[in-house]
Chain A
Amino acid sequence: MLEQIVQIVSNERSTDSYYRLVVRAPQIAPRIQPGQFAHVRILPMKDALLRRPFSIFQVEGDTFSILYKTVGKGTVALARMQSGEELSVIAPLGHGFTVPQPGAETPLLVAGGYGMAAMYLLARRSPQKGIVFVGGRRRVDILCEREFQDLGWEVRVTTEDGSHGEKGLVTQPLLAELKSAQRGRKLFACGPTPMLQAVGKIAGEHDVPAELSMDEHMCCGVGVCLTCVIRVRSGDTWEYRRTCTEGPVFDARDVVWEEAR
C-alpha cells in the first residue's frame, strides 16, 4: 500500500454514465493484484471529505485504470476532472481474488454493472480461460464485452429489459451452466450485494467454490475505522471482518448474510 498524488492520463465517458479513468502511478501499478482497489481522494470535492473506493480495472505499464459509474457527489466530481489534473490515491488495497493456477478449476466470472471492473485483471492474469457472465439493467450497463472476448473468454450477457443478450438476471445462465454438470469449476463474483448473495447461494447448492468481492461503504480503506465490516463465519458463530483489509474478496462459504435491510 502506497499513498501517492497521481496524474490523470485520461478520463473518458465509456457508455451512458460509465467512465474510464487512467492514472500514471509507476510505484503502484506493478504491485496490483486482481480484485484489489484504490482509495481515491477527489480533491475538487471540498466539503465531502472521504475517499472513494474503486476496483482496479486494468494495469498497463506504469498506469492503472478504474471503470466507474457516476452515482453521487464524488463520482460526478471525478467525471468532470481532466487529463493533467491530480488525484490522491492509496493503493493497492485489500485482499483480492485467488488467481487460478494452471490446471485448476475453470473460472466462471459473474459480474453485475461496475462489478465488471474487478474482473478484467483476473481474466487477464488467469492461465485458464473460462466464461464471463455479465448482467445489467439495460444494454448500457453491459461493460467490457469486447475486452473479455479479445482475451479469448466466452461472454454470456443478460439484461433485465432484454435490450441485449438474454432477458433476465445474470444468475440464470450461470445456473444453466452449472446444471450442465461439468465438474471442476470455480465462481468469482463482483456486483451489487443481492447478486453476490444469490451467487453465494447457488455456489453452496451446487457445491462449487466461490469468491465474492463485497461492496461495502468504506471510510479509511486501510483497516483503522471499522466502517466496512461484514459478518464472517468463525467456528460456530460469526465475527465482523473488515472488507477493506480482510476483503473485499471473501470465500462465499464464510459470508454470513444479514437479513435484507
Chain B
Amino acid sequence: MRAETQSPESRAVEEGLEPDLSVSIGKLTLQNPVTVASGTFGYGVEYAQLLDLNQLGAVVVKGIRLNPVPGNPTPRTAEVTSGMLNAIGLQGPGVDGFIQKYWPFLSTLKVPVIINIWGTTVEEYAEVVRRFDALGGVGALELNVSCPNIKEGGAQFGTDCNLLGQVVAACRRATTLPLITKMSPNVVNIAPYAKAAEDAGSDALAVTNSYPAMAIDIETRRPKLANITGGLTGPCIKPIAIKLVWEAARAVKIPIIGMGGIQNAEDAIEFFMAGASAVAVGTANFYEPQTPLQVIAGIREFMKRKGLRNLSQIVGSVQLTR
C-alpha cells in the first residue's frame, strides 16, 4: 500500500477531515485502537484520578481467576535497562471479589472493559468465562495463557498448541463474548500457536506477554526477584514484540492487539505496520500515566499528516520489497 499517493487521502487532507480511529475486535468496536495492558492498569479505578478513562479504546483489567490469589513474595519487580522485571504472581480478588469491589465502577465506563482471566485447568478457564458471560456488560475476555510467573495456569497453556486449542475451544463454548487469546512470546515460532487459537474460535490475539528473564544483585549475589525469575517488559522488548506480531499476523486472519514497550505514537504505529489492528500500553503507564492518551493524539496527528482516513491503511503496511 502506498497510502500517501492515493487520491482519497490527499482529498481528506485538503478537506481537513478527522481520521477514523475506530477498530473492530470480533463484534466489539473500539473508538480508537489504544488499550492498556493487563496488570499495568489495575482495575481502572486507580488511574481515574489521573486521566479520563473514557478516552481510551478499552480498559483491560488485571488477570483474574476463580478464587482469590495472594501473589508472590516480595521483591516482585526490579528495574532493568530500558525495562523492568515482574513476578507479581497474579495477585487478585477472584471472580466474586472483583465483581463486588470493582465492577460497580467499571460498569459505569462508556468504553469497553476487557477482563483478563486465567485458570489452572481448562475447566477453570471455562468456568471463569461463564461467570463473566453471566455478569453482562463485559466488553471482551482476554485469556491469559502466557503468564511466566505461575507454575500451573500460565505459560504451560500458551506453549503447548494442543492445550492452547483446548482452552480456547472450552472458553468459546462457554460464551459468545469476544475472546482475545494472550500469546506467550516464549515459543520458537508463534505461527502454529496463533493458528491454534484462531482455529479454536478466538476472535483476536494479544501479542505479547512478558519474556521470562532474570537479574542478579551483584552486592548480595541474590536474584533481584524473590521468585528468582520474572517477566521482562518495557521498551527493551519492543523489537522482539514487533517481530512476533509480524509473524502472527501472517499466520491468522483475526485481528491482533500488539503490545510490548509502547511509549509513544511512533511505537504504536510500528506495531500497526507489523500487522496489529490495535495496541496496548503497559509498563509505560507506571512511569507516565498519560501515555495512552498521548499515543492516541499522536496516531491521529500522524494520520492527518499522512492523509490517512482509516487505520486499515496502516495495518500490515510494512513494505518488504526494497
A residues whose Cβ falls under 8 Å from a Cβ of B: 1-3, 41, 47-51, 88, 90, 216-217, 219-220, 222-230, 239-240, 245, 258
* Cα distance, A3 to B287, chains bound together (Å): 11
Select which of B73, B76, B81, B285 is within 8 A of A227 by beta carbon: B76
Query: Could you tell me the distance between the alpha carbons of A216 and B73 in the complex, rounded to whole angstroms?
Result: 13
The prevalent SS among residues of B at the interface is loop
The CA-CA distance from A245 to B70 in the complex, in Å, is 17
Is B47 part of the contact surface with A, judged by Cβ < 8 Å? Answer: yes
**Contact, CB under 8 Å: A258 / B73:** yes
Question: What is the distance, in angstroms, from A255's C-beta to the closest C-beta of chain B?
Answer: 13
Contact with A along B142-179 (1 / 0, CB 8 A): 00000000000000000000000000000000000000
Which residue in A3, A49, A222 is a CB contact (below 8 Å) of B283?
A49
CB of A49 within 8 A of CB of B84, answer: yes
Assembly CA distance A177 to B211 (angstroms): 53
**Docked pose: A253 CA to B210 CA in angstroms:** 37
**Set A51, A224, A226, A240: member contacting B287, Cβ < 8 A:** A51
Q: How far is the CA of A51 from the CA of B75 in the complex (A)?
A: 17
Q: In the docked arrangement, what's the CA distance between A240 and B88, Å? A: 11
User: Interface size (B, Cβ < 8 Å)?
Assistant: 34
A1–B47 CA distance with the chains assembled, in angstroms: 10
Is B77's CB under 8 angstroms from A225's CB? Answer: yes
Q: Which residues of B contact A245 (CB under 8 A)?
A: 46
Q: Given A50-B84, A229-B71, decide whether A222 and B50 contact each other with a Cβ distance below 8 A.
A: yes
Contact yes or no, A48 B79, CB < 8 A: yes
- The majority secondary structure among interface residues of chain A is loop
- Binary interface encoding of chain B residues 69-94 relative to chain A, with 1 for a CB under 8 A from any of its CBs, else 0: 01101111111011110101001000
Q: Given A1-B49, A225-B40, A225-B86, A88 and B288 touching (CB < 8 A)?
A: yes
Contacts of B289 in A (CB 8 A): 3, 90, 222
Contact mask for chain B residues 36-55; partner A; CB cutoff 8 A; 1 contact, 0 none? 00011110001101100000
Are B75 and A217 in contact, with the CB atoms below 8 A? yes
With A50-B84, A216-B74, A258-B73: A240-B288 Cβ-Cβ less than 8 Å = no
**The 10 nearest A-B residue pairs measured at CB:** A224-B42, A227-B77, A220-B286, A223-B46, A47-B82, A224-B46, A49-B287, A219-B77, A47-B81, A226-B88
CB distance from A256 to the nearest CB of B (A): 12
Q: Are A240 and B91 in contact (CB under 8 A)?
A: yes
List 17 A-B residue pairs with CB atoms under 8 Å apart, sorted by A's residue number. A49-B79, A49-B234, A49-B283, A50-B84, A51-B287, A217-B74, A220-B40, A222-B42, A222-B46, A222-B47, A224-B62, A224-B286, A225-B77, A226-B62, A228-B74, A229-B76, A239-B70
B294 at the interface (CB under 8 A from A): no
Q: Which chain A residues border B88 with CB–CB below 8 Å? A: 225-227
| CA gap between A41 and B291 in the complex, in Å | 14
Residue of A nearest to B286 (CB): A220
Judge whether A240 and B70 touch: CB under 8 Å: yes
Whether B235 sits at the interface, judged by CB under 8 Å, is: yes
Q: Does B24 contact A (CB under 8 A)?
A: no
- Asked whether any CB of chain A lies closer than 8 Å to the CB of B290, the reply is yes
